[in-house]
Structure 1
């Protein structure tokens, strides 16, 4: 499938559109190209800290115009999944949350009650303020029967000083203490991609996924039945690609290669 035949686009954010809060070459122009063609698109992120409104504002500061309804986070995917689950459970909907505003807001808007008393779910997401008290409470609630949900499996996250322990690392601690494995909603679970497609009203056969990670973006896009495009502007290298038994449909240096016209003449160094 060529870019001209694609009717809908999903794209990762970090390493594809931005790096260290700086827009990558061609990102702004590609977003404008999609708007000009009236093509549905969604920007995906496993980050559950921020609301879509927050992320829209942060992208705007990087020079990228992405309306909040075009952003789909692991928090939104988690809230959507749990709302479907609680409908099946005759409307029960309570959760104990270890996370930030992006996750609590998404769950509130999905109709959930936040509680520390016999919740249906313990939901763990990204936060910069993990506390021993909150983790201990999560462990005890899971031992008492709450179902264990995690927004995304990322074990570490970046910071100017180096890596930080992230959701997957905290989830592993809770699993070790409880013996319970969580259900993980975010990438590489294709559930997140399917919920984004439902959000758009799109079909996977006409949709492309752009990502910079083989182990999340590409494998999940492939399993969801989408056309996959790997960009080399993020974490992947040619050496790392060969480690996987699957391949993306296309490999490009950066999103500027998806533009109708070259970016300022010669392709830039991404």
Structure 2
């Protein structure tokens, strides 16, 4: 199998490039092959908690060098989406960690404090310091007319303690409290892929998404109108393919098989 017409990849990270802090076999060779073939790439993840610089540092520890412009987390994607649609300097109440708050500040937004009720937008991402006060402030602003942005809809989150609630569960709580449905920026909605393609400057027909989850990475690619590779090194299995009415263009075991296909 060869993928000779690919000029760009949009690559998920967890389950594709690493598992926790363990790099997947072939990681360094994978990036060396992309550069040798002059295949552009953007790393795109639904994780909203980390900044691009934190991902750059993580990959550096694994022996891979990337630029921060080659990384888009869903927190940054939310800020970039707002930059395209919101007036400059709009006020945002964030629920989230560095990956959300830093991205909003770097893109010119003002952040509302607890119990300020004049935010133009509420942006909600994974926040491990989530509190009653943050939920109350978000609810008050949404009820006052703020627009609702969710970084990603993932309802579950794997942790060292087991499977716990993800950002989608918090979005559901706020939607129940306000009756307002959020605009989702992360996968499987196409917005993050569209932002990645703007950076890549490669036609969609020569761009391929690479991920390990059918319900986010692959469905997002389908909605964005691009081809996709499902690797079986993460969440989804071959058996899961029978449960969905869409499919990846290719199924491969891991990035080592991708290396062979793009050579």
TM-score w.r.t. length of structure 2: 0.94
2: distance between equivalents of 1:20 and 1:63?
16
Contact 1:83/1:93 (<8 A) preserved:
no
Q: Which of 100, 104, 108 does residue 105 from structure 2 map onto?
A: 108
CA deviations 1:59-83 (Å, max 9, x no partner) are: 2223433322211111111111101
Report the equivalent of 1:73: 73
Residue 55 of structure 1 deviates from its aligned partner by 1.1
Report the equivalent of 1:229: 229
2: distance between equivalents of 1:182 and 1:142?
10
- CA RMSD of superposed structures (Å): 1.7
Report the equivalent of 2:36: 36
- Do structure 1's residue 245 and structure 2's residue 245 form an aligned pair? yes
Report the equivalent of 1:94: 91
Residue 142 of structure 1 deviates from its aligned partner by 0.5
Residue 233 of structure 1 deviates from its aligned partner by 0.5
Report the equivalent of 1:3: 3
Contact 2:117/2:144 (<8 A) preserved:
no
2: distance between equivalents of 1:260 and 1:229?
13
- Do structure 1's residue 190 and structure 2's residue 190 form an aligned pair? yes
Contact 1:92/1:120 (<8 A) preserved:
no
Report the equivalent of 2:54: 54
Q: How many residues align?
A: 259
Equivalences for residues 85-234 of structure 1 within 5 A? 85-87=85-87, 91=88, 93-115=90-112, 116-234=116-234
Contact 2:233/2:254 (<8 A) preserved:
yes
Contact 2:7/2:38 (<8 A) preserved:
no
Contact 2:175/2:182 (<8 A) preserved:
yes
2: distance between equivalents of 1:63 and 1:254?
18
